[in-house]
Amino acid sequence: MRFPSRLAFVVSALLFGSVLPVSCAAGELNDPENFRWDIQGDGSIGDGNNDTFDGGVHLLVNGQRFNGGRQQFGADPRETVIGPQDMGGFNVTRKIRVSEKMPGCRFLEIVQNTSGQPLQVVLSIYTNVGSSIQGTLLPDSNDARFWYACVDQGQGNGCSLAYCMAPSKGKLQVQCLTQDDNITLTYDPVTLKPNERMAIVHVCAQRNSVADAESFARKLDWAAVLRELDRNDRALVRNVRSAGGLLSVGGVELFRGEGGDAIRLNSGELLTGTIETPAFSIETEFGPREIPAAQVFSLFPAGTGVRLVCQNGEVLSGQLKAPSLRLKLRGGRVLDVPAVSISKYGKRMPQAKPGKEHEPPDEEAVEQFAFADPLFVLRNGDRLVGKPVGERWELNTLYGPLSVGLGELRRIDFPNAELRAPLVTLADGSSFTALPQRRQWELKTAGGATVALDAGRLAAVYFRPAEDLSDPVKEEAQDPERPMLPAPNAQLRLANQDVFCGTLDGPDGLIVFETPFGTQRIGVHQVMRLKPRKMGAFSARVTLWDGNVFPARPVENVLRFITHGGAKLEVPFGMLELYWRPLALPPAEETARIEGLIAKLSDNDPQAREEAQRDLAEMGHGIRALLAKHWKDEDLERRTRVRRLMERLQESAPQETLEDEEDDEAPAPVPAPMRSTRPVRHAGFFIAR
């Protein structure tokens, strides 16, 4: 038997009697079909309709249950917002909405990585149904989609649940586990970069039968689910693409045609057909442009003119040269529609691709911007695509002049209400405030003209727009032939929130510390962690590659640092918040010893192999970088032993933390401010509001 709804899970349970009381509800609403949703303080559902649940739709983050937080109404009183809650390096917020039009309850799970390193997150949805699960229907293994069902066995008082976790060919797959009356649905792992946010949207519906639940899962309109989301939340969704085409750009909802190109008249009427105007000619402040009609997504009024949204990511405002647009209606009639009578124009949304025999059509025919060159976002909402003139940009920072190649830049955000100085983000993850040495930015636009933009007109520049502005793509599966290790570059985090990626530097590759044991000269690559101490005669705590920790005071009052791109910085030690290099390296003599032991892992003598493996294991996680070089060793015996060691050492490896290790001299830590409050940057410092 084939089932038509991938990643939609349908559950049916027989319901008996009452259960133990549940926690105080955050709100209670009925959907259009009068099913009850009693939302609890953690965003779960208490009983539902007629004891459907004994606590349903709980959120688990890396196996830890979300317990809730501050509760408030969302954009409308039918949406409940709970959180954020700090959960081991993540801030988690739930948004639950019971629609007046669509049956069921929509859940939006928002996760932000608040640590300073990439972290993997696994989201699970756990439900305890009101009675035992009566049976299951499993999909054909060749089906393009997947759903799970439990079957009412004829008692007459069963209720079915439809869990819609993602549409067909969704970006994240879901695994289902049932035991007794428990159901756990788990998404694929997702790796989030520091400060990166993502969201998962899913829908749960109570139905009167399995057939109704299956029908609901088949017919769920994911585009409608996305449209009811706040545009900022919608941009975070990972498990559902922007079904039906692009929905918004620059905070403006795009008007798109359904079933054809569409023109909305000023009087409100809608015309649908095929645009026959070959190109849109527009006079902009940067000169005339002619955009092929196939590359124009949308047109809408802007001041006394119009604004075009183009496939290459440009948004251009100006005056249309042509007095009318030619549209061939569905019935064959051709109209020349006066430009002055047009309120909006929208290119047809992509059509769903037909499925193979016995398979449903592909619901995820999705359009993307064809980003190629850097994108300059102006404060008036226009966007220009072009190539910057010059190979490097010169920046002034608190740490001295910095020359950055265009290939090293990822984006620059210019001052706004929350940002008092430009914020530069590099491709290696570095992020810092800086002032460009030049006031004008020259670029050669996609139209061929060279223009000069004053920095005061810019809101942002995206040097890699496909990474920041495109829909996220499905996470690539971890290569089994590659070890899962942290990035080799270190990260320097400063008190003003500036972050640099690279490594420590020093004369002859050494950094000198005064310690209780005398002056110590330590190789810069051997330092795994360096953090200021709160109290005591020694101002820092140093952690070496082998895990040894000791108090110290740098002899110099500055830290020398080399960025990934090769720029050299001198940072006052008083600005240090944390230096973290998870893959610090042993000194040269110890490296030679470790490499000798690794070589013995394939020794002809079994006892020598065992002794070498034991000695390496006793050295701890500090040898991972050296072991990783042998992950694909040609010798099978050595390769197998290296991989076993790596798995063991990864489990014991320390995690980055801003908290000090236990220190009798240190006072109790002051609770950190809410992560949602964003400090205002000013010339590299932050000003708390």
Which one of 435-439, 602-606, 621-625 scores highest in mean pLDDT? 602-606
Whether residue 19 is predicted with pLDDT greater than 90 in this model: the reply is no
CB-side neighbour CA atoms (13 Å) of 391: 0
CA dihedral over 551, 552, 553, 559, signed as positive or negative? negative
Contact between 285 and 318 under an 8 Å Cβ cutoff? The reply is yes
432 conformational bin, left if phi > 0, alpha if psi -120 to 50, beta if neither: beta
Question: Cα–Cα distance between 471 and 236 in angstroms, integer?
Answer: 9
Same domain, 57 and 186: yes
pLDDT at 255: 80
Q: Are 587 and 658 in contact (CB under 8 A)?
A: no
The pLDDT value recorded for residue 265 is 94
CA nearest neighbour of 93 among 79, 105, 83, 108: 83
pLDDT computed for residue 131 by the predictor: 65
Q: Answer yes or no: do 203 and 161 share one domain.
A: yes
Report pLDDT digits (tens) over 521-567.
Answer: 999 999 999 999 877 778 899 999 888 999 999 999 899 999 888 88
418 and 333 both lie in a single domain: no
76, 193: one domain: yes
State the Cα–Cα distance between residues 180 and 185, nearest whole angstrom: 15
CA 349 vs CA 249, 256, 272, 631: distances in Å: 15, 6, 12, 47
Is the predicted pLDDT of residue 144 greater than 60, yes or no? Answer: no
Q: Which amino acid is located at 637 in the chain?
A: E
Which of 580, 615, 644 corresponds to the end of one domain?
Answer: 580
User: Residue 482 pLDDT more than 60?
Assistant: no
pLDDT the model gives residue 280: 95
**The predicted structure's pLDDT at residue 315:** 92
Tens of pLDDT, residue by residue over 276-285, are 999 999 999 9
User: Are residues 275 and 147 located together in one domain of the fold?
Assistant: no
User: Hey, what amino acid is at 369?
Assistant: F
Residue 480, pLDDT score? 53
The last residue of one of the domains, among 234, 269, 293, is 234
Of residues 682 and 44, the one with the higher pLDDT is: 44
Mean pLDDT of 118-144: 66
Question: Taking a C-beta distance cutoff of 8 angstroms, is the pair 55, 66 a contact?
Answer: no
Both 277 and 405 in one domain: the answer is no
Same domain for 87 and 214? Answer: yes
The boundaries of the domain holding residue 438 are 375-469
Picking from 679, 637, 672, 639, the residue whose alpha carbon sits closest to that of residue 657 is 672
Averaged pLDDT of the chain: 79
Which two tokens mark 547?
């895990």
Provide the phi-psi class of 139: left if phi over 0, else alpha when psi is between -120 and 50, else beta. Answer: beta
Q: Can you give the pLDDT at residue 437?
A: 86
Q: What is the mean pLDDT of residues 579-603?
A: 91
H/E stretch holding 609 reads helix 606-619
- Torsion over CA: 29, 32, 34, 37 (sign): negative
Identify whether residues 267 and 398 lie together within a single domain.
no
Percentage of residues of the chain with pLDDT beyond 90: 34
d(CA 68, CA 81): 10
Same domain, 322 and 213: no
Residue 53: what pLDDT?
Answer: 83
- The pLDDT, as a whole number, for residue 353 is 53
Lowest mean pLDDT among 166-170, 343-347, 506-510, 530-534: 166-170
**Cβ neighbour number for residue 197 with a 10 Å cutoff:** 18
Mean pLDDT of the 625-636 span: 87
Q: Residue 2 is which amino acid?
A: R
pTM for the complete prediction? 0.64
> Total structural domains in the chain?
5
52-74 residues labelled b (16+ CB within 10 A) or e (exposed)? bbbbbbbbbbeeeebbbbebeee
Structure tokens at 433: 């405030």
Indicate if 446 and 503 belong to the same structural domain. Answer: no
